[in-house]
């Protein structure tokens, strides 16, 4: 590994040498996708640019919403997810995942967005929206230029560092939707569940920003900004499509943990509470209605950018960015679900009828207790809320310039810190509910048997409409709610330190082969660290309503890298660009990446370009260092169990079965023991990406066709017990069989030492092929200048192969299960802008038409009414009109997205993240028609 002090000595040496040299500068542009100052025509990968106007005319409140509407980009995390959310926002290029899409600000990578959970995806909320001048998107591998994670490509947010004056922007918007889906409303009534309102206007969004920029003489310039954004929540119950969790799009699902409770005694005796009686059977509860479709959010961001020219050759740039974002995910009331409790037969809240049903019928006396499996919704309390409070501070200092006859240098140091306070509100404690049910005394003077401080009797044996009362004999009291209530907390912090130095120049080489070539080389160092600390309430696993266990996590990753880029403009008009990067990681992992690109402008109007790259993604801290912990999961079958095992003794011996155990192993219990966690032996993911492009351009037309191919190997995925067991039986390979530990006495996986280890592994491959077509045309009409832009994507192949299958899953034109989000065969965005004037007021009349092709369900059952029914999605076309008026002192813009208020397609099997509310939010317009207004004034 390179020594740290060598890196910094090199930086000091170059800095000292730089300031001893003087040369007159020339104006050059730094372009996304290359280290050599150039224009965008040198970027061989598929490349497109998004202007500030593109964002404004679509009413963009959240950058991820606009990006997700483009054919090449899909959502990863968004504000339209609640359960299992991370509280962040991210997108995915070529549907490869947000952790394989690198986000940049002015060419510098964003650090991981949260220490909470999941992968190390950057958080788009950290982007200073008010300063974004344009967005450059380069698809395909760019690891040689930017390092790990740039497999799908990079999205570079370019900021306006030269603004002068004062600019104030205000934007407001809301969703307007008519709930008129008669098919779904009949399903809701049949349950019966309450209907969504006939018409709603909700999900209000407001944003205000102030930008101030000033230039001092010819040397210094500063820019400062302040931005505030507020978003209101939308609940599942406010839309037909999400009013209940659907099963096979035919019935509403419900929870047996209802407001009336479910008291299960033995195997098949069930009761719920009506008045003060136990009634046979169970009721169901609509657990979906209080969930959030759109999370409420408040974000404030501010910062300062300062540029100073020492002379004509050397410039200092400093930047400070601050972001504080608080958002809340809500997932209905907490519950006891199949929780084993002991209820004394002399509990003073039990009626005579309840004592008979609970105890007397089972031969128990007043001195006994009955074991009950209890499921009940804590409807007297408040819905569970996950409060994500994220604060990011990012500081950048950069030196760039020229020295010694045309050599360019660029050095920056970047430091980013993200702090998280995560509080899970309104859960209930499993241990305290048990205490609060173990009651003695009389109904007039009840008391807890437990001496636990603050214990208050919890009377769930009377149905008073779930009203909170002051007298415990009449129902649940506030004292009982306060006692059983459990708030859980996680504190976390992630930080990244990043140093970069590159040296470049145009070489004046007199050659018969090429004109002046260019070269760039340098070194880079990053250190990423993370600490996540759950409180005792999380660690004790006492939260009854928790969906995922949380464990402490800490770790760090360091990398030192060398890179080289060369640009060769041959005299036969062929330009060749090539680059290489060597990376040395702290876990003794070494990798190298390469990039080769060729451009051939065979006429003034026609250009051919081709590229090939190797790119990588290194495992992140969660994947490497997550604490190994036990989980109990279902196993579909153990082929080595039973009196007549399905597999032979030879096969079963691979899994630890001895001849003496063969034929006598108990069939698997309802759940088996597994262990899961991080894996320090993970390898970097590897991808070979390539593209072939064709460009035609003249004064009025621009046409670009890009064919791309991505072969991703060693993708990290989560193994499961069935896969591990089957792979060991089939292959006998140690990498699978070493993960299996049978109980040496019984051969089972649920007793003693018996378990199956299910770590993260490099076993997924992902192959994607397609082509993009971008066409732009501008011409004058009698009404004004008309600009057309059409962006199309055609998907030719998308195949995903996991260890659980020897056959790749065809995901082209499909969705769900292995495929995840829809992969349409065709997507298109057409933008039409008319620049005109009415009564001497300049206007920009815009129309955007978005098309998403139909997709099929990967479930093959097309006739069943089961949960796994095949449900295809039809194609969708969205119409988004807007108009901008440019007055002397301000601009006014009005617009509507999803003009015709289309519902997204629904499928009840879509879970949380990337789904929510029976559909895929952000991929399809989720909440109906969006109406917006924007005012912008500049002084």
Taking only the tens place, the pLDDT of each residue in 429-457 is 999 999 999 999 999 999 999 999 999 99
- Is residue 761 within 8 Å of 719, Cβ to Cβ? yes
Percent of the chain with pLDDT over 90: 81
Identify the pLDDT of residue 512. 78
Residue whose tokens read 């995915």 = 92
pLDDT tens string 492-509:
999 999 999 999 998 877
pLDDT tens string 194-207:
999 999 999 999 99
Residues 897-921 have a mean pLDDT of 92
Could you give the CA distance from residue 640 to residue 725 in angstroms, rounded to a whole number?
Answer: 10
Could you give the CA distance from residue 250 to residue 233 in angstroms, rounded to a whole number?
Answer: 28
Q: Tokens for 119?
A: 């992968």
CB atoms within 10 A of CB 30: 15
Lowest mean pLDDT among 37-46, 105-114, 728-737: 37-46
Of 389, 719, 716, 677, which Cα lies nearest the Cα of 553?
677
For residue 865, name the pLDDT band (cuts at 50, 70, 90). Answer: very low
Residue 123 burial class via C-beta count within 10 angstroms: exposed 0-12, middle 13-18, buried 19 and up: buried
pLDDT tens string 289-325:
999 999 999 999 999 999 999 998 999 999 999 999 9
Element (H, E) at 925: none
pLDDT tens string 833-855:
999 999 999 999 999 999 999 99
Lowest mean pLDDT among 386-400, 512-526, 869-883: 512-526
pLDDT tens string 697-708:
998 899 999 999
Q: Considering the entire predicted model, what is its pTM?
A: 0.92
For residue 45, the SS3 value is coil
Residues 788-795 have a mean pLDDT of 98
pLDDT tens string 807-827:
899 999 999 988 999 999 999
Q: Tokens for 395?
A: 């500081």
Give me the architecture of the 30-179+203-234+294-330+388-423+490-623+683-720+760-938 domain, per CATH: Beta Barrel (2.40)
Write the DSSP symbol of residue 905: P
Q: Tokens for 674?
A: 């597994």
Could you give the CA distance from residue 563 to residue 584 in angstroms, rounded to a whole number?
Answer: 12
Neighbouring residues of 840: CB distance < 8 A, sequence distance ≥ 6:
none
Parse the chain into domains and list their residue ranges: 30-179+203-234+294-330+388-423+490-623+683-720+760-938, 636-670+723-757
For residue 515, name the pLDDT band (cuts at 50, 70, 90). Answer: confident
Could you give the CA distance from residue 232 to residue 248 in angstroms, rounded to a whole number?
Answer: 31
Q: What is the 3-state secondary structure (H, E, C) of 14-54?
A: HHHHHCCCCCCCCCCCCCCCCCCCCCHHHCCCCEEEEEHHH
Q: Tokens for 177?
A: 């939707």
Element (H, E) at 730: helix 721-731
Q: Compare 185 and 868 and report the one with higher pLDDT.
A: 185
Residues 669-689 have a mean pLDDT of 90
165-178 and 929-938 as β-strands: parallel, antiparallel, unpaired?
antiparallel
With the CA atoms of 57, 60, 64 and 65 taken in that order, what torsion angle do they form, in degrees rounded to the nearest 10? Answer: -80
Residues 262-268 have a mean pLDDT of 92
Q: Tokens for 720?
A: 């499961």
* Phi, psi (rounded to 5 degrees) for 362: -110, 15
Q: Tokens for 149?
A: 């994670």
Q: Tokens for 759?
A: 């770590």
Identify the pLDDT of residue 516. 82
Q: Compare 19 and 518 and report the one with higher pLDDT.
A: 518
Identify the pLDDT of residue 868. 58
Q: What is the mean pLDDT of the chain?
A: 92
Residue 926 burial class via C-beta count within 10 angstroms: exposed 0-12, middle 13-18, buried 19 and up: buried
Could you give the CA distance from residue 668 to residue 657 in angstroms, rounded to a whole number?
Answer: 14
Alpha helices in 82-232 (DSSP H): 143-146, 182-190
Identify the pLDDT of residue 2. 38
pLDDT tens string 140-192:
999 999 999 999 999 999 999 999 999 999 999 999 999 999 999 999 999 88
Percent of the chain with pLDDT over 70: 95
For residue 118, name the pLDDT band (cuts at 50, 70, 90). Answer: low
Residues 783-802 have a mean pLDDT of 96
Residue whose tokens read 């209930």 = 428
DSSP states of 201-248: EEEEEEEEEEEEEEEETTTEEEEEEEEEEEE--EEGGGSGGGSS-EET
pLDDT tens string 204-262:
999 999 999 999 888 999 999 999 999 999 999 999 999 999 987 889 999 999 999 99
Total length of the chain: 939
For residue 42, the SS3 value is helix
Angle formed at CA 344 by CA 341 and CA 350, multiple of 5 degrees: 105
Could you give the CA distance from residue 286 to residue 193 in angstroms, rounded to a whole number?
Answer: 7
Identify the pLDDT of residue 670. 65
- Is residue 167 within 8 Å of 938, Cβ to Cβ? yes
CB atoms within 10 A of CB 344: 20
Residue 918 has pLDDT above 80, yes or no: yes
Side-chain-facing half-sphere of 81: CA atoms under 13 Å: 24
């Amino acid at each position: 590994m390179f020594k740290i002090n060598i890196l910094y000595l090199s930086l000091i040496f170059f800095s000292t040498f730089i300031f001893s040299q003087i040369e007159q500068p020339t104006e050059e542009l730094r372009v996304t996708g290359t280290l050599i100052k150039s224009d965008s025509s040198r970027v061989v990968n598929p490349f497109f640019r998004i202007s500030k106007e593109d964002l404004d005319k679509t009413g963009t409140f959240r950058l991820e919403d606009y990006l997700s509407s483009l054919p090449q980009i899909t959502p990863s995390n968004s504000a339209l997810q609640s359960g299992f959310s991370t509280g962040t926002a991210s997108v995915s290029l070529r549907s490869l995942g947000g952790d394989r899409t690198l986000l940049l600000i002015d060419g510098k990578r964003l650090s991981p967005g949260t220490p909470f959970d999941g992968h190390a995806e950057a958080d788009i909320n950290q982007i200073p929206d008010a300063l974004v001048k344009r967005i450059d998107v380069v698809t395909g591998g760019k690891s040689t230029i930017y390092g790990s994670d740039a497999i799908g490509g990079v999205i570079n947010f370019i900021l306006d560092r030269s603004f002068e004056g004062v600019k104030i922007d205000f934007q407001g918007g809301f969703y307007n939707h008519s709930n008129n889906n008669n098919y779904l409303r009949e399903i809701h009534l049949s349950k019966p569940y309450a209907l969504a309102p006939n018409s709603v206007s909700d999900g209000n969004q407001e944003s205000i920003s102030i930008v101030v920029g000033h230039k001092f003489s010819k040397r210094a310039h500063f820019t400062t900004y302040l931005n505030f954004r507020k978003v209101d929540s939308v609940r599942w119950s406010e839309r037909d499509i999400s009013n209940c969790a659907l099963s096979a799009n035919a019935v509403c699902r419900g929870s047996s943990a209802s407001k009336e409770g479910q008291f299960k005694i033995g195997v098949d005796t069930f009761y719920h509470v009506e008045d003060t009686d136990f009634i046979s059977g169970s009721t169901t509860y609509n657990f979906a209605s209080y969930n959030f479709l759109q999370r409420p959010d408040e974000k404030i961001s501010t910062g300062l950018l300062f540029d100073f020219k020492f002379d004509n050759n050397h410039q200092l740039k400093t930047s400070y960015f601050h972001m504080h974002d608080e958002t809340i995910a809500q997932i209905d009331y907490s519950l006891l679900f199949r929780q084993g409790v002991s209820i004394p037969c002399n509990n003073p809240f039990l009626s005579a009828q309840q004592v008979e049903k609970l105890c007397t019928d089972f031969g128990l006396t007043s001195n006994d207790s009955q074991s009950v499996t209890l499921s009940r919704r804590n409807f007297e309390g408040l819905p569970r809320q996950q409060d994500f409070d994220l604060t990011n501070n990012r500081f950048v200092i950069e030196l760039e310039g020229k020295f010694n006859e045309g050599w360019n240098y660029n050095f920056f140091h970047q430091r980013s810190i993200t702090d998280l306070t995560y509080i899970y509100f309104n859960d209930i404690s499993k241990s305290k509910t048990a205490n609060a049910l173990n009651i003695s005394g009389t109904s007039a003077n009840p008391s807890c048997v437990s001496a636990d401080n603050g214990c208050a009797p919890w009377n769930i044996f009377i149905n008073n409409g779930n009203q909170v009362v002051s007298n415990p004999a009449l129902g649940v009291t506030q004292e009982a709610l306060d006692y059983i209530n459990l708030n859980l907390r996680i504190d976390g912090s992630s930080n990244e330190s990043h140093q970069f130095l590159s040296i470049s120049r145009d070489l004046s080489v007199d050659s018969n082969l090429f004109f002046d070539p260019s070269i760039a080389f340098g070194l880079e160092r990053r250190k990423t660290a993370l600490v996540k600390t759950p409180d005792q309430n999380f660690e004790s696993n006492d939260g009854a309503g928790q969906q995922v266990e949380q464990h402490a996590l800490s770790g760090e990753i360091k990398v030192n890298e060398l890179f080289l880029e060369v640009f060769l403009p041959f005299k036969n008009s062929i330009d060749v660009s090539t680059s290489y990067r060597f990376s040395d990681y702290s876990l003794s992992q070494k990798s190298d990446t390469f990039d080769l690109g060729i451009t051939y402008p065979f006429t003034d109007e026609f250009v051919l370009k081709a590229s090939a790259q190797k790119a990588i993604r290194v495992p992140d801290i969660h994947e490497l260092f997550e604490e190994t912990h036990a989980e109990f999961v279902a196993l579909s079958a153990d082929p080595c169990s039973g009196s007549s095992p399905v597999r032979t003794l030879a096969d079963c011996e691979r899994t630890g079965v001895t001849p003496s155990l063969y034929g006598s192993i108990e069939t698997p219990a309802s759940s088996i023991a597994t262990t899961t966690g991080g894996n320090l032996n993970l390898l970097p993911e590897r991808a070979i990406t390539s593209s072939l492009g064709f460009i035609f351009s003249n004064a009025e037309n621009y046409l670009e066709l890009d064919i791309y191919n991505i072969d991703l190997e060693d993708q990290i995925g989560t193994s499961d017990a069935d896969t591990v067991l089957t792979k060991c039986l089939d292959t006998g390979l140690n990498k699978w069989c070493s993960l299996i530990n049978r109980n040496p006495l019984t051969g089972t996986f649920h007793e003693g030492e018996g378990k199956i280890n299910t770590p993260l592994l490099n076993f997924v491959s992902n192959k994607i092929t397609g082509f993009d077509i971008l066409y732009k045309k501008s011409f004058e009409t009698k009404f004004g200048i008309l600009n057309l832009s059409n962006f199309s994507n055609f998907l030719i192949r998308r195949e995903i192969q996991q260890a659980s299958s020897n056959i790749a899953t065809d995901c082209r034109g499909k969705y769900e299960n292995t495929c995840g989000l829809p992969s349409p065969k065709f997507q298109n965005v057409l933008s039409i802008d008319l620049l005109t004037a009415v009564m001497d007021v300049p206007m920009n009349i815009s129309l955007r038409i978005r098309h998403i092709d139909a997709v099929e369900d990967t479930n093959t059952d097309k006739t069943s009414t089961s949960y796994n029914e095949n449900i295809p999605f039809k194609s969708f076309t969205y119409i988004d009109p807007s108009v901008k008026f440019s007055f002397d002192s301000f601009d006014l813009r009005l617009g509507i997205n999803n003009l015709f208020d289309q519902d997204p397609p629904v499928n009840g099997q879509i879970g949380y993240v990337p789904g929510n509310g029976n559909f895929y939010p952000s991929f399809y317009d989720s909440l109906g028609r969006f109406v917006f207004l924007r005012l912008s004034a500049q002084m």
